[in-house]
Structure 1
Amino acid sequence: MTTLKVELGERSYPIFIQANLLQQPNFLAPFLKTKTVVVVTNEIVEPLYFPLLAEALKGCQISKIVINDGEEFKNLQTFELVISELLAMSAARDTTLIALGGGVVGDLTGFVAACFQRGMPFIQIPTTLLSQVDSSVGGKTAVNHPLGKNMIGAFYQPQAVLIDTNTLATLPEREFAAGMAEVIKYGVIYDAEFFEWLETKQEQIKAKDTDVLQYMIGRCCAIKAEIVAVDERESGLRALLNLGHTFGHAIEAEQGYGNWLHGEAVATGIVLASSVATKMDWLQTSEFRRIFELITSFNLPTSAPAEMNYDCFMRHMRHDKKVQAGKLNFVIPTSIGAAKVTSQISEEVLRTVLS
């Protein structure tokens, strides 16, 4: 088992990563502060993993709420549905919410936990690669709005993040590849050695080698835990985790949430940000090529939809959370293992890259 900790004082919490974790007896016991539990999951994950979770929750009063699968359901309507279900079952602050699923389930459940009766405990059990390496850690919770992704939410930390790498065995290949976009991001912004490790371990990763996956997920979580401990509310260092997201969120919003997977949009966003960096002479062409090749090796898209031009991107990006004082900030890689946030990008370069 890999064990990590997000250091946030009284709100610190552990991350456990292990194959077959869901089958370990009483694996949840140390983190349950209540005897009443509501599991929020989706229609795909529920038949696969809820029975294992229910077995581990013997002795508790268990209820479940099953939502539709897909990014298009990460919205205020689903948020209200979950709240209504909790009210109907007379849930209270002595109820623990458990998010069992991918990023949509985790983000939505966390936001519900932050809002219901002004706060209730919740636990993350992420079942997709993207949620295991990124969205389940750090306390960002949100739902989408037609005008912008993750625009309605709260910072709210879980009691624990419990990762069973075996859940990746049932993950569709497209979803697994989408998760690799976030994995690659960590190497680009923070850890050149990890990026090089990814380059050398591509075949083992694609084969879902257990030890390789555990190390990979653990390294991503360790980087994010380190960054979140320094900058929980994204006032500085944590903003680097948004590499590729400004462009990527624009693609998701324009194409309709769910048509492009989040990781696919982020992968394209990383390539666009790296292209901007190269044209601004901040990133060497050889390093751009390495980033591009690693992304394409996992069959991820690298070009924005043909119908999206500069004006289309700007229309969406002006609603981005990184707009400050009317200026749009971009996360730009300066080398493999380092990045910066800047608003000093010429319109000419942006037009060229987004044409």
Structure 2
Amino acid sequence: MPDPITLSFADGRRYDVQFRPLDALPATLAAADVRPGRCLLVTDEHVAAHYRGPVGAALTSAGWTPHVHTLPPGEATKRAEMLHRIYDEALRWGMDRQTPVLAVGGGVIGDLAGFAAATLLRGVPLVHVPTSLIAQVDSSIGGKTGINHATGKNLIGSFYQPALVHTDTACLRTLPMREWTSGLAEVAKHALLTDGPLRALLAKHRDALYARTDDAPIPSMVRAAVAVKAEVVQADEREAGRRAVLNLGHTFAHAIEAVAGYGRFTHGGAVALGLRAALHLSSAAHPSFPLDACDALVRPLAPVDATADLSFEALYEAMRADKKNRGGRRRFVLLRAPGDPYVTSDCSRAAVARAWTFATS
């Protein structure tokens, strides 16, 4: 298993991302000073079929009393109704401020259960046990929690750091290929944002990793992707500045999800399309930008064939609700070069339209 990564913040708060098997969860909880007692385990039906039994057995054998709350799978679950289901279950059960919430699942469960932990009794301990690639490399890291709104994605939420992230990369072997590809889009995004080992790893092993072959260096890829995000969020916990670059491709992606309806595209599929558009905008602004080489990382992950009925006009209008916007102006994350991102409002409607044509070609 890879070495852990520790996130540290200016006020002294810190937590570890541990890369260990699921049955080691009680030991990592103890090391994080989360002591045995009652816990609320939030998961979804798909994840529960694989991991509710092993996780529950490991916790119970270590003196925990887990109370499991299982929700429907999919992006449509990340809404106010499901959040209130967690509230109702937790408060009916008799949760107190020392009762941790364990989010066992992908990005939807992590965001939803994380927001519940942040707001129940004004905050209870949160532990992420991410089981999808997108959750392991991205959504479980950095403290963003929340739910979607009809106006746009992730518009209601909070920053709330966990006490621990416990990652078992073996869980990724049971992931459907569609979800694996979705997570790879966030890995590719992290690779484009840095000039570090992740990009070199993808360049060397891209075909094996994308195909999830038996010899693919998956644990190394996951740790390298986590390291990229951890470095950014430690420097800018609440997205006051630099952290916004992690939204590379997401101005388009969030608009795609809103216009198409949550769940039609995976988040990563929408991100891959958004990354292709952002790469085209970057190339238009910086003629020396290596568009073809960067797009080679992303194009295999983009569901181009599923975009025929998406109206650019509807997408462009949906971008007005993006969280990055300021003064009513749409903002995009671009790259001067790989590893050199920045945020700009200086993208004309015509340039954005051309980028969308590229992304869907």
Using structure 2 for the length normalisation, give the TM-score: 0.92
Note closer, same or farther for the CA distance 1:132–1:198 as it changes in structure 2 (3 Å cut): same
Note closer, same or farther for the CA distance 1:283–1:117 as it changes in structure 2 (3 Å cut): farther
The 5 Å alignment of 1:115-264 reads 115-191=119-195, 193-205=197-209, 206-209=211-214, 212-264=217-269
Aligned twin of 2:292: 289
Note closer, same or farther for the CA distance 1:207–1:44 as it changes in structure 2 (3 Å cut): same
Q: Does 1:272 align with 2:277?
A: yes
Aligned length: 350
Q: Deviation at 1:238? A: 0.6
Q: Deviation at 1:346? A: 2.1
Q: 1:318 aligns with which of 320, 328, 333?
A: 320
Structure 2 runs not aligned, ≥5 long:
none
Distance between the aligned counterparts of 2:129 and 2:259, measured in 1? Answer: 30
197-206 or 156-165: bigger deviation:
197-206
Distance between the aligned counterparts of 2:42 and 2:261, measured in 1? Answer: 24
Answer whether contact 1:195 1:336 (CA < 8 A) is retained: no
> SS where residue 355 of structure 2 aligns?
helix
Distance between the aligned counterparts of 2:229 and 2:205, measured in 1? Answer: 21
Distance between the aligned counterparts of 1:96 and 1:304, measured in 2? Answer: 40
Distance between the aligned counterparts of 2:258 and 2:329, measured in 1? Answer: 20
Distance between the aligned counterparts of 1:129 and 1:138, measured in 2? Answer: 16
Aligned twin of 1:46: 48
Q: Does 1:86 align with 2:87?
A: no
Aligned twin of 1:57: 59
Q: Deviation at 1:34? A: 5.2
Render the CA deviation track for 1:44-65: whole Å, top value 9, x for unaligned.
1112111111122121221010
Q: Deviation at 1:25? A: 7.2
Note closer, same or farther for the CA distance 1:277–1:3 as it changes in structure 2 (3 Å cut): same
Distance between the aligned counterparts of 2:334 and 2:178, measured in 1? Answer: 26
Q: Deviation at 1:275? A: 0.9
1:265 maps to amino acid: A
Distance between the aligned counterparts of 2:109 and 2:334, measured in 1? Answer: 29
Answer whether contact 1:127 1:163 (CA < 8 A) is retained: yes
Q: Deviation at 1:210? A: 7.0
Aligned twin of 2:6: 5
> SS where residue 323 of structure 1 aligns?
coil
Aligned twin of 2:23: 23
2:111 maps to amino acid: D
Aligned twin of 1:328: 330
The 5 Å alignment of 1:71-110 reads 71-110=75-114
Runs (4+) of structure 1 exceeding 3 A deviation are 207-211
Answer whether contact 1:33 1:96 (CA < 8 A) is retained: no
Q: Deviation at 1:216? A: 0.8
Answer whether contact 1:140 1:155 (CA < 8 A) is retained: yes
Note closer, same or farther for the CA distance 1:5–1:192 as it changes in structure 2 (3 Å cut): closer
Render the CA deviation track for 1:246-276: whole Å, top value 9, x for unaligned.
1000000111111100000000000001111
Structure 1 runs not aligned, ≥5 long:
none
Q: Deviation at 1:351? A: 2.8
2:284 maps to amino acid: K
2:312 maps to amino acid: Y
> SS where residue 137 of structure 1 aligns?
coil
1:175 maps to amino acid: E
Q: Does 1:343 align with 2:348?
A: no
2:43 maps to amino acid: T
Answer whether contact 1:280 1:349 (CA < 8 A) is retained: no
Q: Deviation at 1:73? A: 1.1
Answer whether contact 1:282 1:334 (CA < 8 A) is retained: no
Answer whether contact 1:129 1:168 (CA < 8 A) is retained: yes
Answer whether contact 2:208 2:216 (CA < 8 A) is retained: no
Distance between the aligned counterparts of 1:232 and 1:337, measured in 2? Answer: 20
Answer whether contact 1:96 1:120 (CA < 8 A) is retained: yes
1:328 maps to amino acid: R
Using structure 1 for the length normalisation, give the TM-score: 0.94
Note closer, same or farther for the CA distance 1:318–1:303 as it changes in structure 2 (3 Å cut): farther
2:223 maps to amino acid: G
Note closer, same or farther for the CA distance 1:163–1:306 as it changes in structure 2 (3 Å cut): same
Note closer, same or farther for the CA distance 1:25–1:148 as it changes in structure 2 (3 Å cut): closer
